[in-house]
Chain A
């Protein structure tokens, strides 16, 4: 056990590798939240009246709600009045027309993060809608996508250019009454991405957005809406890192997906926000996210894949409402809780249509003093004839100071349903490490070998470039965890 403790100590001493703060002038609203702040945000974004009043309704609803406390996470009370709800990089004109016009400091930041905003990466076929703090500053490949009829823009732009679509779908999957953080987001959301894939179109490239929190004291409230019309197909990639900083940062995003008949949406996330100081747990990001998709039409499919390695607290349950007959929902997740991280994550699969199928593969990794919880719900409604679910929840422990918990909720109201649930817990034992060492494999390589083996089923669901990134991220996150 001695060796293992040493190991853990070493994991704990692992520094966050992406910590730096970029010096850019910010246009920031002073901290605090009230109706005037919401009107100001809406006004700054030149929003139509219906949206302003939607935000206000959300705000007034939020005031009546209580912060949820059922998750297995522990954090000091958030003072919502000390948060600044809007921050945008200052632009002198109407915004940059090309990358050359973008603040060089900003471009440097992206380069440090390896964000593919440059030529080579574009050639690799990645369209990037980069979110720097709250406002999108550069959108690439828009033209190519435009030719295919695909709309991929910042949320604010979509409000201006496609108000009908936004009005029709905003809040249709996650209404502002849904939960505390979704209500807050609906009131103050700053920006995000909007995607519309027309009928029968297969999106010609992976759509990728990089989120990044940078301004001090600014919560990040992203809003993403993806609509796949009949018979269309889209793969969306989301990834993020954050600079090192001292106080907690609240992130309450909302993602809504709508898949019509025969459409397919694949949504992949690699999340690596600052997890907090490795020795004290201080300063990490609070990631309270509501992600939900609806398989509206028959034979549609929504697939969530997530690799969650960052944040001090993760509260996230990407879910699927399987409304269309024969629709399919999938959830593949790797969640890491290292040092003082707390993760309470999982999914909800709500079967309402006939012959609907869902698959849940969850892999939890706990190290240091990390606390990892899988929480999932599978609900088969009365009319969901012959619905099927397969769930598999595996946990791996590194060291003896971390913990793993599994809370599967199953609610079946139709006797023809078929449910399967498997769960396992194992740990990276000293014997496994010695065995690898004895074959010449270093302890760090051994940990990454074992962890990657454990995560294989999820990683293979990621698009190629993301899979490589995810493996690297896993190595960095657990570096020095043993020996």
Chain B
């Protein structure tokens, strides 16, 4: 589904990613771990198409096709979703309205009928229940006045609603209390399916206690220093990242 080949990325003349290789198949859940500044968020943003990052060499393939010259919107329509580390506030824009616009853009792209307000409300109510969010959030402006945990739950709500094939969750677990963490993890677990892949980017191993990662990768200084199974995350917890420093 996702194939990253020897990816080098620069931000304002600084090399951030220095040769990333990663292959994600449908049905898999990958965790990418690493310290602050190791390039984790850069990787997520580059896959989503953030334009302030410059790809100097390498390629990103999605379903066998290079996407690096595609716009963020084209990638989103093709089924790539990123849960933001810092979800953006859009004052005045109703959360329901925003989600409906996004869903209908995607449905239109897929050649499906757009949902009207009534149909959408029916759908969204089900999704809300899955992340234990109150209906009042629908009527608030996008992320406006949301607590850290509410914002992250809102990201997962969007994922559940938009049903992407590839979901990249950028530090979705950070800033969550234990209850919210469980809700988010459950949401993600229930979302897993043979034809969907999930990449979780995180500092901490704790979210992996609530979900099963097929692969764990450790990102150090712009490169994947080590890949392994779930026990790699446990080893990291015990020994710290310095264990992998050269």
Give A residues with C-beta under 8 Å from B. 2-3, 426, 429-432, 434-443, 445, 449-450, 452-454, 456
Contact = CB atoms under 8 A, between A and B. Distances in A.
Contacts of A2: 51-52
B157 to A, nearest CB: 12
Interface string B115-137: 00000000000000000000000
A431 B50 CA distance: 9
A449 B98 contact: yes
A438 B93 contact: no
B1 interface: no
B105 A449 contact: no
A79 to B, nearest CB: 43
Contact of A442 (B73, B75, B89, B141): B73
Interface stretch (B21-29, B32-40, B79-87): B79-87
Contact of B73 (A429, A440, A449): A440
Interface string B76-112: 1100011010011111111001110110011001000
Nearest to B51: A3
A453 B72 contact: no
A432 B90 contact: yes
Interface of B: 48-52, 71-73, 75-77, 81-82, 84, 87-94, 97-99, 101-102, 105-106, 109, 141, 158, 162
9 contacts: A2-B51, A430-B52, A436-B102, A439-B76, A439-B162, A440-B77, A442-B73, A443-B73, A449-B98
A335 B88 CA distance: 26
A459 to B, nearest CB: 11
A334 to B, nearest CB: 12
B92 A441 contact: no
A450 B76 contact: no
A429 B105 CA distance: 21
Nearest to A363: B92
B92 A453 contact: yes
A3 B51 CA distance: 8
Contacts of A438: 48-49, 72-73, 75-76, 81-82, 84
Contacts of A426: 91
Given A434-B50, A437-B71, A439-B76, A449 B101 contact: yes
B161 to A, nearest CB: 10
A432 B105 contact: no
Contacts of B106: 440
A453 B92 CA distance: 4
B1 to A, nearest CB: 18
Contacts of B158: 439
B92 A450 contact: yes
B90 A437 contact: no
A434 B105 CA distance: 15
Q: Which of B73, B88, B98, B109 has the most CB of A within 10 A?
A: B73
Nearest to B143: A435
B88 A435 contact: yes
A441 B90 contact: no
A441 B73 contact: yes
A436 B106 CA distance: 12
Nearest to A1: B52
Contacts of B52: 2-3, 430
Contact of B72 (A437, A445, A449, A450): A437
Q: Which of B76, B88, B90, B158 has the most CB of A within 10 A?
A: B90
A452 B71 CA distance: 24
B88 A453 contact: no
Given A435-B84, A438-B82, A456 B92 contact: yes
Contacts of B82: 438
Nearest to B101: A441
B105 A441 contact: yes
Contacts of A450: 90, 92-93
Contacts of A436: 90, 98, 102
A443 B101 CA distance: 12
Given A435-B87, A435-B90, A441 B51 contact: no
A336 to B, nearest CB: 16
A432 B72 CA distance: 13
B88 A432 contact: yes
Contacts of B89: 432
Contacts of B48: 438
Given A429-B88, A439-B76, A450-B93, 6 more contacts: A3-B51, A436-B102, A438-B72, A440-B76, A441-B105, A453-B93
Nearest to B80: A438
Q: Which of A3, A429, A437 has the most CB of B within 10 A?
A: A437
Q: Which of B71, B88, B94 has the most CB of A within 10 A?
A: B88
Contacts of B51: 2-3, 434
